[in-house]
Amino acid sequence: MLSSSKSYAYEMLLSELTWAVGEDYVQTGDSDKLGHSIDYYWVPEVWHDRGRQLTPPDFIIQPGSSQEVAAVLKIANNYSIPVTPWGGGSGSQGGALPIRGGIILDMKRMNRVLDIDTVSLSATVEVGINAQHLEWAIEKAGYSTMHFPASIACATLGGFIAHRGTGVLSTKYGKMEDMVMSLEVVTPQGEIINTLPVPRHASGPDLTQLFLGSEGTLGVVTKATIKIHPIPQSRKFHAFLFRTMHDAMLAGSRIMTSRLRPCVIRLYDEPETAKLVKRVLGIDKKGAYLVFGFDGQEKIVDLEMEEACDICSSFDHEDLGAEMGQTWWNNRYKFFYPPYMFHMPQAFGTLDTVATFANIENVYWAMKNVVEQNFPQATFIGHFSHWYEWGCMLYARFIIDNPPADANEAVALYNKIWDMAIRAAIKAGGVINEHHGVGLKLGRIMKDLYGPAFKILQDIKQTLDPNNIMNPGKMGFKG
């Protein structure tokens, strides 16, 4: 943070930034600063909720072009001032918080769809575009991005690229790293580069996959070419209830390892089936609820569905039919809105972890045990989303209805749960995490997660951003 807005150094910098992007696109008002000091991470939320002071940015800059982004980064290097890119502000990991003050680079002005290639099925867009607006634009052309995360209404494409986001149909259509074909990036030193135009090649390391997931620490992604897909002729769902989560996991993993290709599988543990599936979907059953869907040519969908149902039927099950599967799809976003979503004053965290099928249940039990045994005031629930040929993601959550009133005590408790749960997950073979990102929340765990390999990331960060201006203090990099 600049020491004072009253010094002339502040005015020197402000006038340079204003020259670079135009005076309409530099904000310094208190309410603008507040709106860019807090995201969907629980820690700044509770901090603000308890009347405590957040760390504001000094400037909110809204660049209109890659060239303007480059100009801002060059200025920031000259002044050694932090730059933190900002998309929808809907991140849950604190990745966009300006924890060292400086510049918030609000990317939402860069929201144009530049090209839709209906021969290769791709679209080139500025990444400040809201994900729902992007989907609407692609649908108007007769296609779909097939990226449907719960945050679609508020998040930007750039946000998803920053932290490798995943949508509900990822099991067939992939996550952000599968969807992106190529990137334009402004490097920390203000050079505009493009990664290779196609995502599969044999021309060296994959730079696209270096910037994907770098969360604004290695530069600013400004444009992306993404895949688009035809609207499938048919999309069908089916639900089963299993006596145990273990049986349901065996069924789900067998669907994947038999190389069927559902667009989605979701498996709720017994507590979440009893709690949320009942409350949101009105399905009042004891056991583990499993839903899956297929899409594509209807005749092929029907065969795949038949095959998947055969797999499920080989376990102790209740066939809930297509209707109770479709119900889930129709209500898939409902889980994330009031009154079903957790909210203040509750403390809650999503212990998003991904692992192989051999490890994923161990991860579940390791986290559940450590949370329930050490924090009796916490409820632990979980479901498994985003399935792969080799494993799946555990969307586990802890909820505390009445966390401490004192902000420091509340944050200390919150961090303690995280610290214990994620180390238990890593020990059981889990990778924290699958689609929420690292940000501020999980930066502390990067050294444990990567081991000696973290040095590689640190070296790359150091060489690409020698003045450490890009989103300092995130992802375990120094602040």
Site for a copy of itself in 273-332 (CB under 8 A): 296-297, 299-300, 303-304, 307
CB 161 within 8 A of CB 107: no
- Cis (ω within 30 of 0) for the bond into 339? yes
Minimum separation from the CB atom of position 295 to a copy of itself (A): 9
CB burial readout 58-68, b (16+ within 10 A) else e: bbbbbbbebeb
Smallest distance, a copy of itself to C-beta of residue 29, A: 33
Least separation, in Å, of the C-beta of 274 and a copy of itself? 28
Scanning residues 20 to 59, which ones bind a copy of itself (CB under 8 A)? none
- Which two structure tokens, joined as six digits, stand for 250? 């065996």
CA–CA gap between residue 142 and residue 321 (Å, rounded): 31
Which member of 18, 132, 209, 415 binds a copy of itself (CB under 8 A)?
209
CB 160 within 8 A of CB 147: yes
Site for a copy of itself in 146-165 (CB under 8 A): 163-165
**100's tokens:** 């060292």
Name the segment binding a copy of itself (CB under 8 A); options: 46-54, 148-156, 353-361, 396-404: 353-361
d(CA 86, CA 64): 14
What gap in Å lies between CA 375 and CA 166, rounded to an integer?
A: 30
259 counts as binding a copy of itself under rule CB under 8 A: yes
247 binds a copy of itself (CB under 8 A): no
193 binds a copy of itself (CB under 8 A): yes
Three-state secondary structure call for residue 346: coil
Determine, following the binding rule CB under 8 A, whether residue 463 of this chain makes contact with a copy of itself: yes
- The nearer residue to a copy of itself, 102 or 165, going by C-beta atoms, is 165
With tokens 């405590």, the residue in question is: 52
Spell out the residues 6+ positions from residue 327 whose beta carbon is closer than 8 angstroms to its own: 239, 281, 282, 283
By CB under 8 A, what part of segment 108-137 binds a copy of itself?
A: 117, 119-122
Q: Which CB sits closer to a copy of itself, 153 or 300? A: 300
Query: Which residue of 17, 61, 218, 280 would you call a contact of a copy of itself, by CB under 8 A?
Result: 218
Those residues with Cβ within 8 angstroms of residue 375's Cβ, 6 or more apart along the chain or in another chain:
398, 400, 413, 417
Span near a copy of itself by CB under 8 A; candidates 21-29, 40-48, 214-222, 398-406: 214-222
DSSP 374-398: H-TTEEEEEEEEEE-SSEEEEEEEE
CB of 229 to a copy of itself, least distance (A): 7
The reply to whether 478 sits near a copy of itself by the rule CB under 8 A is no
Residue 214 or 222: the one with the smaller Cβ distance to a copy of itself is 214
Judged by CB under 8 A, which of 27, 55, 194, 362 binds a copy of itself? Answer: 194
Q: How far is the CB of 220 from a copy of itself (least distance, A)?
A: 14
3-class secondary structure, 59: strand
Instruction: Report the alpha-carbon distance of residue 287 to residue 320 in Å, rounded.
Output: 12
Residues in the chain: 479
385-444 residues in contact with a copy of itself (CB under 8 A) are 388-391, 429, 431-438, 442
Strands (E), 187-233: 192-194, 220-227, 229-230
CB of 94 to a copy of itself, least distance (A): 14
Rounded to the nearest whole angstrom, what is the least distance from the CB of residue 258 to a copy of itself in the complex?
A: 7
Binding status of residue 230 toward a copy of itself by CB under 8 A: yes
- Which 3 state secondary structure label does DSSP give 168? coil
How far is the CA of 137 from the CAs of 60, 88, 120, 124, 226, in angstroms? 28, 18, 17, 12, 13
Stretch that binds a copy of itself, among 147-155, 173-181, 278-286, 326-334 (CB under 8 A): 173-181
Stretch that binds a copy of itself, among 16-24, 194-202, 271-279, 333-341 (CB under 8 A): 194-202
Instruction: Answer yes or no whether residue 253 interacts with a copy of itself by CB under 8 A.
Output: yes
Question: Which one of the spans 24-32, 269-277, 406-414, 453-461 is the region binding a copy of itself (CB under 8 A)?
Answer: 453-461
Assess contact for 269 and 247: CB atoms under 8 A.
no
Q: Name the minimum Å distance from CB 168 to a copy of itself.
A: 15
CA gap 223, 212 in Å, rounded = 12
Identify whether the C-beta of residue 169 lies closer than 8 Å to the C-beta of residue 160: no
Compose the 67-106 pattern: x for residues touching a copy of itself by CB under 8 A, - for all others.
Answer: ----------------------------------------
CB of 187 to a copy of itself, least distance (A): 7
